[in-house]
Each structure stands twice: as C-alpha cells, then as structure tokens.
Structure 1
Amino acid sequence: MIERYYLAWVWATRRLRHYMTKYSVHLISHLGPLRYLFDMPALVGRLMRWLVLLIEFDIHYVTQKSIRGSIVADHLASLPVFDGRAIDDDLPDEDVAVVTSLLGWCMYFDGAANHSGYGIGVLLISLHGDHIPRFVRLAFSDGHPVTNNIVEYDVCILGLETTLELGIRQMEVFGDSNMTQNQFADALATLASMIDIPAEATVHPLLIESRSIPAYCCLIDEAEFDNGLPWYHDIYQFPRLGAYPEATTAKDKRTLRQLATRFVICGETLYRRSVDGMFLWCLDHTSAD
C-alpha cells in the first residue's frame, strides 16, 4: 500500500509537472506513509527512485484534516483499468448533438514554454490554402504571472483578433496540440518563445519555400542555363590547357589559379580534393540528374 501511495504521487507530478515546477505545492495527506519514507535509514529499489524524482519540486506536507479532498482519488483507486487502455483525461462531449464542418477558413493555435520564455503561435488557412502565420513572445512583467491557462487564452485571443482584422466571420478553430495539422502553430510558438527580439526591430513576414532537389542541383541549373557549358568548365580548362576565360581581369585570374589548386584531373574526369583526402567527382547537369 505504501508503494501504491508513492506511485500515485509520482504519477501526479509527471502529469502536473508544468505547474509544480514553478510554484510551491501543498500536499495534503496522511503523514504516516511520508514519515515511513523519510525515517528509513536506507531506501532501495523503487521507493528510492521515486524519492529522487520528487526532489526537484517544492513540496510542503500538510496534515489531512478533511476526507473530502480524497473522494476523487479513492473513487479512481476503486475502479482501476486492467486491460491496458490509455487514460483519457478529456471531458466527453456529452452536450454535442451535431458536429458540422464549415468549408472556409481554419485557425490553428498553440502555445509553448521553455527555459527561454513563453511564445504563442497562430496559423490561419484560407479556403484556397493560403497560410497566414502570426506569433508573439509573451514577456509579461512580474505583476502578471504566466500560467499554461493564460498562454492558451492569449493565443486564442490573438487568433480571434487576427480574424477580425481580416474581416473573417466564419471559421473552424483547432487548439489541440496533439493534432498533426497543428504542428505549424506549435513551431511558431516555439520560435517565439526561444528568441528575444528588440523592441525597435522589425521582423518581416516569414517566407517558407519548398525544394524537391538539393541546393547543389539548383546551383548547377543556374550556372549552366546561360551558355550550356558545365559549371566547372573554366576550372577544367586552366590546369589542362593553362587557358583563362575571355575578358578576365588580373584579380579573376589570380582567383582561378587559387581555386584550381583544389581540383585534380584523372584521365578526362575532374575531381575536387576534399579536406579528408577523398576525391569528389564534379558533375554537370545531366550527370547530376
């Protein structure tokens, strides 16, 4: 029974860790099990590991004066789940009779907290798939403490303010952090929580591109688009023929000579000598594809 007490205690700290690490906690309980834990000269096994897990919290022990506070805990303990099902602590939607999907704007919001601070992120998605991100760093003064609930309220209000500014009157709102589609808003909130932007600085809207090929392939395409020659043509011609490109300046020739020292020709193939001594094959556009 003592181990069951402490297992429930440790489980509660894992679930409420984001609250308990910031505030002092008053534990109202029978002092018998607590006295047993701290009076033991040498703890071993699970009790010792659980005690180590509880050291990080500022817990004050208070004698239990009323049994009303333990009614819920006693009820849960009397109805255990034995089939391995995950515990779902969300309230059931008993009052929801009909769920209707609105074809229009969608709003995803999420908050983030870490050692650097607090951030909130909102993502609006139009009917045509346009993404409008907005994120804010919460830097409240000491007179306004930040809790998880306040973060969630602020991010939801931020999203509603944004929709009003855009003239949106109908939309679906999603705030569940476990949703796959909410990863964008979570990333925005994490970014806002980890960076400290000066008040006078201006951050322009984010531009996120999508590339289907590596960057070196894009560079090859740009270099070979004009004249059809491979990007390494000038480097190849200098050690083989000692020739410089036409209309080059003395500075360009010096740069080409320095650059050519990093390359070597074996047969008809040009290689670049890497820092670890390996030879890297220089590819043109066709070979890269």
Structure 2
Amino acid sequence: MSKPVLSGRKAKWSLLHSDFEIKFVPQKAIKGQALADFLATHPSPDNVELPADLPNEEVFTIETVTWQLYFDGAARRNGAGAGLVFITPSGGLIPYSFSFLSLCSNNVAEYKAFIIGLEFSLKMHIDCLQAYCDSQLVVRQLNGQYAVRNATLIPYHEGAKYLMSQFQGIHVSYILRSKNDKADALANLAASLMLPDERDIQITIGERYLLPPAIERIEEFVDSNVITASKCDEEPDDLDCSLPIIEYLQHGKSPNDSRKKAKVRHRATRFLYLNDTLYKR
C-alpha cells in the first residue's frame, strides 16, 4: 500500500494553512533522469579533469560570529545602575547605561546588568556571545561552580539561565576590575544619576582641552638689548638719566616738571624694566 502524499506533519501544515487560504503544495522528488539530462545539456570540455575527491565537511562549515559583552552593576545608598559595553566582531564599541528604580545589593545589580545585556543581545539577533564580569560569585554561579543559596538571587539566576539557553553559544568569564573599567564607569554613572519616572538623558563624552598643557605652553620672550646707563647731558649733577624711567615703569612716578614728565612718559614706552634691569624694546 502506497503512503499518501499528505501524511503526518505535512498534513497538519496543510490544515493549518487552509484557514488562511494558503494551499500547501509538496515538493516533488528530483528523478535521476533530470540530473542526467542536465549533464547531457551542459557537457564538460574534454581537457578538464573531473576531481575525484569530494569536498570534506570543512567546506560546508559556517564560521560563527561572536560578540563580546562587558557588564557590571553598581549599588549605592541612593541609587543603583548597570553598565554594558558591547564589542562587535569588527571591533566596534556600543555602550549602554541603565538606572534602576529600586535599591538593591551589588550582586543583584550584577545579575540585572547581565539580564539586560542578554535581552539586548537577543533583540540584536546575536547567536554567539562571550560575556565578561568582574564578580567571581556571579560568574561561578552562572557557570554552575557555585550553588545559589541566597533566596534573593535565585529568581535572577533562573532568569539569566533561561535567557542563556536561547543562544547557540554563550560563555561567561571572570576578568579583573581594571579590565572592566568602561562598564564599571557606566554603572557608577547610572547609579549616581538615578532619574525618576524612567526618563532618559543623553551624555556626550568628548576629549578636548580648554587650555593647552602647561609643559606645551610657549613662553613669550622679548627681543631686547641691555642699554648702558649714562649721565644726562642736560643735568650732570642729577642721578643716572635712566632713573626717572625706571621709577615711572616700576612705581608710576614721574617728575613734577610738566616738560620732563611728558619726556619721561614718551621715552618709557620704548623700555622694559624686568628683574632690576632696564631693557630697550
């Protein structure tokens, strides 16, 4: 007795599609004569040798694309937050920062950060994920090395394991806090800027100096020549004629005589008094 065309799973699909006016047409088998006809229509040249070895399994393997996730949680007296840093296969960086509306412990914040990272990964259709965390307790609990004895952590642990089961490949590794600094900074920032009513803010981080570093500042030098002091010809009994200029430049004093005062002020514009030395500009 021949087996009907629509049997088992195919018959079930046909009934389900009938509600939507979709007709299921099973694929027909390709007969050997069709392959022979194709080879006869497209013959190979005589000078081309046909390979005797068939391709092995390595030819048909598809290279898996793995993303990286660095996550961290932070809990403070007045806030808690999570920081996520995704590293794309091409080396791109995608940061996220989240504030929690309720206070929690550090371990709960770590689990919440990981769960948020898994949910984002699934939304981005990431199949293979390598996650990193600086909490040995959370990493070893997720890898099954430690049992979860804290009743508060059990629901978060179960939720994380359920999300992990939806990936083709996923692994959680422990790293030092110094190597998880970006996610740690984002988590602490979110904990410090805890916002009510689930509001979002955008923070721009830029590298820019308002002033150049002190070692790069170029000091201004005055191209000057030291002048030689000499007696004034007009008043040989007075002190050096440079003294009125020095007093004017250092203390703002000028002679009482209006004619000499104007002369000193005019000549003082051509000099500079620095470190007990009078320089000509």
**Under TM normalisation by the shorter chain, which class is it?**
0.3 to 0.5
Q: Which has the higher contact order (CA 8 A, sep 6+)?
A: 2
Structure index of larger Rg: 2
Give the TM-score normalised by structure 2: 0.35
Give the TM-score normalised by structure 1: 0.35
